[in-house]
Amino acid sequence: MNKEIDYLLSPKAIRERTKKIYDLTLEGKTSFEIDESKLQETADFVLEVIKDNYPSLEIPFHSRWGHFKVGNTNRVTQIDEKLEGVDPLEKARTKLDLVITSVLLDAGAGPTWSFKEGDKEFNRSEGLGVASFHMFLNGDFSNQKCLSADGKRLESISADDIRKAFQVSDDNPLVGLDGRASLLKSLGNCVSSKPEIFKDARPGNIIDHMIETHGKSFKAQDLLKAVLLHFGDIWPSRINYEGINLGDVWNHPLLGEKDDLDSLVPFHKLSQWLTYSLVEPIVEAGVEITDAHEMTGLAEYRNGGLFIDKEVIRLKDTALYEKAHLPDSEVIIEWRALTIQLLDKTAEIITKNLGLSSKEFPLAKVLEGGTWWAGRRVAKEKRADSSPPLKLDSDGTVF
């Protein structure tokens, strides 16, 4: 692979390119100002949230799996019971089929939608997680109506299928039905067109590819690279280079012209979220995944909102808070870049406070235990609808 592309698909590039934006902000050249004196207070708040959520500090990776356990119900046990006695690799494929389809259905739900499960009701990401779990449990992603996802069935998914499964109605509207169906169709096309990677046209076959390529021990960023290369066709095509869809990568004019690779700032938010979500089933199958601390934080609105709401960063032009911004706008690219850097700085303060190393307490645990929930908590304190402090005009494949 071209070395420049290889670099842009790495956590190293995310950190180095976002640091350039951070440094430019310190020099007063972007739309934001940074008040680093607020970082300690923010890290203390995040640590308070971590200890509220996980008093023992036994924190799983920041992933989709937590959403399957909301409402004091561990729904994953339903899958485990149905797969009792099944070969560990097949069990992993099944769980990967579940989590991959669920992640692709996890775009913003809108403020009014909810999903009823018995006498309980869930909204936003948790509701989407529970709804997609039941859709999978019902066999809706398989032509055989079994616990799997197959390419042909995914290619035929319609917005109406999702409408029924997610209890959508005029009184219970869900944002982006067509977009969700389109992503699942793209997943179906992707796994069907790559038999050398997905031998049975199942998303979960990614575990077979990783073992064949790396054996039973590999780095988290090896898994990320596989996700970026082999699932990259799913995402809307933005910047293509030598036939490769670079995905969540954006040009910032302060770094160079549009056709200059040095101008590109990668985030790979959803691909990293997906990678974090693949770790648990793969490890359960007896495969070792190392060096999770090399992965970066997620540049999305809960983490980013935390730093605006805690006044670590602020827009110079306050009128920009009132406008809706597209993902390719300079404001959003800068906000996301600052978020990546500030998550690292926050994690460093927290691990130092706990007397742990980044390997012992990787960023994925800081995200799951604290920053995401802290961002939600402070948003709720400041705005009745818990919306982010910046208005977003997004298609659901970025945030």
Backbone dihedral angles phi then psi of residue 287, each to the nearest 5 degrees: -100, 135
Burial of 322 from C-beta contacts in 10 A (0-12 / 13-18 / 19+): exposed
> What b/e sequence results for 199-219 when a residue is b if at least 16 CB atoms lie within 10 Å of its CB, and e otherwise?
eebbbbbbbbbbbeeeeeebb
Low-confidence stretches of the chain (pLDDT beneath 50): none
> What b/e sequence results for 65-94 when a residue is b if at least 16 CB atoms lie within 10 Å of its CB, and e otherwise?
bbbbbbeeeebbeebeeebeeeeebebbbb
- Chain centroid to Cα 357, Å, comes to 24
The two beta strands, 114-117 and 120-123, are antiparallel
Helix 124-137 with 88-104: angle, nearest 10 deg: 130
**What is the phi-psi region of residue 167: left when phi exceeds 0, alpha when psi lies from -120 to 50, beta otherwise?**
left
- Residue ranges of E strands in 64-167: 114-117, 120-123
In which residue are the tokens 């200059």 written?
A: 260
According to the model, what pLDDT value does residue 1 have? 62
Q: Which of 132, 74, 130, 127 is nearest to 101 (CA)?
A: 132
- Residue ranges of E strands in the chain: 32-34, 114-117, 120-123, 217-219, 240-241, 244-245, 249-251, 264-266, 288-290, 313-315, 324-325, 391-392
According to the model, what pLDDT value does residue 214 have? 97
Please give the Cα distance from 205 to 90 (Å, whole number).
Answer: 9
Q: Which CB contacts under 8 angstroms, 24+ apart, belong to 247-256?
A: 247/271, 248/398, 249/8, 250/327, 250/328, 250/333, 251/328, 252/21, 252/330, 252/333, 252/334, 252/337, 253/330, 254/21, 254/24, 254/29, 254/30, 255/17, 255/20, 255/21
Q: Tell me, what amino acid is at 283?
A: V
DSSP letter at 307 equals H
Contact 71, 78 (CB under 8 A): no
Please give the Cα distance from 399 to 179 (Å, whole number).
Answer: 14
According to the model, what pLDDT value does residue 308 have? 98
Residue 323 CB neighbours (<10 A):
12
Q: Which of 310, 356, 274, 354 is nearest to 62 (CA)?
A: 274
Which tokens sit at 115?
Answer: 């999903």
At residue 250, the 3 state secondary structure works out as strand
Record the pTM. 0.90
Name beta bridge partners: 324.
391
Which tokens sit at 322?
Answer: 């009132």
